Amino acid sequence: MDIQRLEGLRGCGGAGFPVHIKWQAVANEATPEGGKVIVCNADEGEPGTLKDGWLLNEQPRRVLLGMQRAAAMVGAVRAYVYLRPEYTEQLRFLQVAINDLIEDGFLSPGSGAMWNGAGFPGRSVQRPGHPLPPQEMPNIAPAAATGLPLRLDIVLGGGAYICGEETALLESMEGRRPQPRHKPPYPTQSGLWGLPTLMNNVETFWWAERILSGEIETPGSHRLYSLSGDVERPGVYEAPVGITARDLIDHFGGGVVNREQISCWIPGGAASGVLPASCLDTPLSPEGLKEVGTSLGTAGVVVYAKPTQPVEVAAEIMKFFADESCSQCTPCRLGNRAFSDWISGVHEWPEPEVTERWLEAMELGSICGLGFTAPLVVRQMQRWFSEAVV
């Protein structure tokens, strides 16, 4: 019933899945030998997103407490923070926070070990240094205060964008090339080493802790917005879901640098595509952004002042996707590469019929979200800046 208190909170990692449904799904799974697993996805890699790094610097204890609460509620005994490897400062704060929580009796003694996740280029077989599977680390002593066993360790990420995709992250933790798995089964049923796994974003655990500790009464009413680009005061801001980008930029960000005009902006991380200045009064909410063809994503708002051209921004995003494709499935590997070349002018655009077919093949044929949401960037360009793309 405690899980129901989270109703209204949506995952803050990009997909926006209802948190209480995911937690309930893991809670409902039978506990297999080896136990259930909690993973905090701290592989913050979405361009324009910086809230998780900020949170781990400022409030790592609350993030970890969110994980601890989740473990108690779904019955997990192992927990991992999969940390973006560039976050070296955050790593130190995390280690301090973990030690404090062991002392305070929330985590089992021995917690805080550091492991490696696999990345690219890598061999398709295991290399040492990855988290030990349950059979090699079977006994977890109960934590002093809670009486529940919970071993919480840190895994340094593989250093690729795709490592933040939940199943690629699991592959990386298990020591293989971080290539997304086919779903179903979902991680809630069969995740790390085939165990039921609850994976949430850093910010999601942070909100969950604030909600479950009684600090917040309306789950999902606010988000942490990462504001960057050509604004006077870039940073991470807690603001209501539904605030307009204009308000966010003016009231929190101090306006555009040098009072320049806005050329275009990104609402929720690179994968949410580029919007024109005419959409600045759109509410930053799932519903509001759906109206203009996109989503709130990671709530990473990036502002581009003139004379930056929207097509330059889109080209950069598509090149990023092309470079970061794990190269497992064809539509993502070659589709992103083609659109990167077309949009940046390396190759001439083909007939619109071809463009449409290639977008469709990516949307329908890719394995994971990288492949099937990347076409959104092109479609948004077609919708808002049609003169620039074909």
Partner 1 sequence: MSHDKITFNLDGEALEVVAGTTLLDACRSKGAQVPTLCHEDRLEPFGGCRMCLVELDGAPRPVPACKTNVASGMVVRSGSDSLERVRGTIAEMFMAEHRPATGGRPNAMDKVAKRFNLGAPPIQFPERAQYHDRNRFIGFDTDACILCNRCVRYCDEVMQVTALEHSGQGPNAIVQPTDGLSFLDTSCELCGGCISSCPTGALYEKQSQGVEESSCDTTRTVCTFCGVGCVIDLNTKDGKVVKVTAEQGVGPNDGHLCTKGRFAWQFIHHDDRLSEPLVRGEDGELHAATWEEAYARVAEGLTKVKQEHGADSIGFLASSRCTNEDVYVLQKLARSVIGTNNVHSCAAT
Which residue ranges make up the site for partner 1 (CB under 8 A)? 120-125, 160, 162, 177, 182, 322-331, 333-338, 341-342, 347, 350-351, 354, 357-358, 360-361, 363-367, 372
Q: Report the nearest approach of partner 1 to the CB of residue 267 (Å).
A: 23
Q: Name the residue among 333, 332, 264 with its Cα closest to residue 301.
A: 264
Task: Spell out the residues 6+ positions from residue 121 whose beta carbon is closer than 8 angstroms to its own.
Answer: none
The nearer residue to partner 1, 124 or 139, going by C-beta atoms, is 124
The nearer residue to partner 1, 93 or 120, going by C-beta atoms, is 120
Q: Which is nearer to partner 1, 210 or 319 (CB)?
A: 319
Across the strands, what pairs with 302? 228, 266
Shortest distance, CB of residue 172 to partner 1, whole angstroms? Answer: 13
- Judged by beta carbon, residue 225 or residue 358, the one nearer partner 1 is 358
Provide the minimum distance between the beta carbon of 323 and partner 1 in the complex, in angstroms, as a whole number.
4
- The pair phi, psi for residue 39, each rounded to 5°, is -125, 130
- Compare residues 284 and 329 and give the one whose CB is closer to partner 1: 329
Minimal distance, residue 295 CB to partner 1, in Å: 15
Which lies closer to partner 1 via its Cβ, residue 17 or residue 281? Answer: 17
Three-state DSSP string of 180-215: CCCCCCCCCCCCHHHCCEEEEEHHHHHHHHHHHCCC
Cβ(199)–Cβ(191) under 8 Å? yes
**Sheet of 235-240: strands edge to edge?**
235-240, 222-229, 300-305, 262-266, 275-276
In the complex, minimum distance from the CB of residue 220 to partner 1, in angstroms, rounded to a whole number: 23
Tokens describing residue 273? 């595509």
Contact 59, 48 (CB under 8 A): no
Give the shortest CB-317-to-partner 1 separation in angstroms: 14
